[in-house]
Amino acid sequence: METLPTLDAHAHLAPSRTPTELASSGAVLAMTVSLDEANLGVARREPWVAWGVGCHPRNLRAQQAFDPDRFGELVERAAFAGEIGLDKGSRVPLELQLRTFRRALRVLAGRPRMVSIHSYDATGLVLEELKRTRVAVPVLHWWTGNVTETWEAVALGARFSIHSAVARQSKFRTSVPLDRLLIESDHGYSDPPAAIPCRVEWVEHLVAQQRGLSVEQIRLLVWRNLGRTLGEAGALGLLPPLVAAAAREVCSDASAAPASPFTRETGRG
């Protein structure tokens, strides 16, 4: 592979975006906030964009309309689930959020799916639910947990998708293991998808500086983390073929890094 594209583990893209608009977004795991949106997303076939199935804890209508059977049917057709989770700052009553989150986790338990989980201001509650109902690959988005909570999350098999605000926290810098790291833009609907690589690169720079690595090493690392994580879970083949192929190539290159022009530039291996 000549150049490894950016890998965005959490962004929001309108399913109405045209293939041309998505052509230069890099590899993206596109979250959905409601089952209606997910229904549109999972029907799409993009070379570099995978669509998840979500029910956002800040979206009252989506939370009220959540149906676990429909969620399960959509998850069967999707590469991953997200965005689901809890948020104590949301106007959606916490009781309703908890009910939806628990039902979603029960559907996901035992299925080979990565799950992007919103945890803002609700880290302890999210961990409690994940202990009660284990899912294959929990990926914590907007993680603000303390060091002890982060270790608890690691013990539960969690990965952490980091955007710039999270990257600036010292707790993240010191306590999230490198092999659990993913990078995200948390891009919004109104921003152009072509801006995603710039936003991901900015987070790559932040994390690279904090961890004493090069930007190229961080990019390789997150691709390898995705490939290994989903490979172990049996979920790599669910991703769009080009994304799965890039992840496999990076993982198989791990023992022969100089074979890739991208890695040779960085001096790895």
Residues near Zn ion (CB under 5 A) are 83
Minimal distance, residue 54 CB to Zn ion, in Å: 8
Minimal distance, residue 90 CB to Zn ion, in Å: 13
Measured distance CA(206)–CA(189) in Å, rounded: 24
- Decide whether 83 or 253 has the Cβ nearer to Zn ion: 83
- Decide whether 46 or 83 has the Cβ nearer to Zn ion: 83
Minimal distance, residue 85 CB to Zn ion, in Å: 9
Could you list the beta-strand ranges (E) of 39-187: 49-53, 80-85, 114-118, 137-141, 159-162, 181-183
- Decide whether 83 or 149 has the Cβ nearer to Zn ion: 83
**What is the per-residue burial (b if ≥16 Cβ within 10 Å, else e) of 183-205?**
bbbbbeeeeebeebbebbbebbe
Sign of CA dihedral 108, 185, 118, 138: positive
Helix (H) or strand (E) holding 9: strand 7-12
Which residue of this chain has its Cβ atom nearest to Zn ion in the complex? 83
Minimal distance, residue 119 CB to Zn ion, in Å: 11
- Decide whether 13 or 233 has the Cβ nearer to Zn ion: 13
Q: What phi and psi, each to the nearest 5 degrees, are found at residue 250?
A: -65, -40
